[in-house]
Amino acid sequence: MNRKKMQILSIPYVLWVVGFTVIPLIFVIAKALTGDNGITAENLLAIFDSVHKKALWLSLELAFICSLVCILISYPAALILRSSRLGSKKIMIFIMILPMWMNFILRILSIQMLISKNGIINNILGHLHLAPISIINTPYAIVLGMVYDYLPYMLLPILNCVLAIPDDIIEASKDLGANRLTVLTRILLPLSLSGIGSGITMVFVPSMTEFVIANVLGGGKIQLLGNVIEQEFSVTMNWNLGSGLSVTLMVFVLLTTLIFGRATSSSDSGLVI
């Protein structure tokens, strides 16, 4: 396929990106830099207000916890899948990605049905004469919803890297006297850092900007920065302030993602035997 045909085929993609990414982004930045008295940085500096700063740090904290929990679940699962037989491996992968086929809102509502005050789990505990759990409308419920929703996005890139590691390298290390812990820390982990980095990006970014899960599982009582931005746009109708907070959050997420990327960029040279 020659260069001209490639350019023609790329036109729909370019139009889509320009129409639904570039133009809205320009609009948001323009709104963020303007106010009633013209150009101003007031909307960007609003992040330093106590309410906004608290919401930002809570968003960062929950996104970090969600990413960490997803890693702690996904990495052992990837190692188990690597050593499984082909048939059982396909079944386990299918089960893990099956929730992704369901609508996002339905997934969150299903978690709400499980952990609510009169939900399924508490009904079962009541029949067993055990004390009910009360995590709904708490940060724990939000983290649970995030982990449930974003776990496949951590598992799949890690699994892809783990499966790509040749068995010959592991067998050679064992022949040289390496035990299981050494194989894990000096071979498997360094060679799969790129997958961990990709997974962190795919989990941390949406977790950091989340507001729907906080509304449903937090009961509107826990304000993440995404909730504050959503309220500025839909409730108070202060689009300038909402845009300023959005741009600030976008820059913060970008910087955090770059830090994660820099931390895992040397994974290809991390093999030590």
Mean pLDDT, the chain, rounded, equals: 88
| In the block, residue with structure tokens 């499980």 | 114
pLDDT tens readout for residues 106-153: 999 999 999 998 888 999 998 998 888 889 999 999 999 999 999 999
- Every domain of the chain and the residues it spans: 47-269
CATH fold of the domain at 47-269: MetI-like fold (1.10.3720)
pLDDT tens readout for residues 183-240: 888 888 888 888 998 899 899 999 999 999 999 999 888 999 999 999 999 898 999 9
* pLDDT given for residue 140 in this prediction: 94
Q: DSSP string covering 237-253, please?
A: --HHHHHHHHHHHHHHH
Facing residues of 39 across strands? 34
CB 264 within 8 A of CB 196: yes
Query: 44-60 burial string, b = 16+ CB within 10 Å, else e?
Result: bebbeeeebeebbebbb
- Which pTM does this prediction carry? 0.86
Q: Residue 1: pLDDT band by 50, 70, 90 thresholds?
A: low
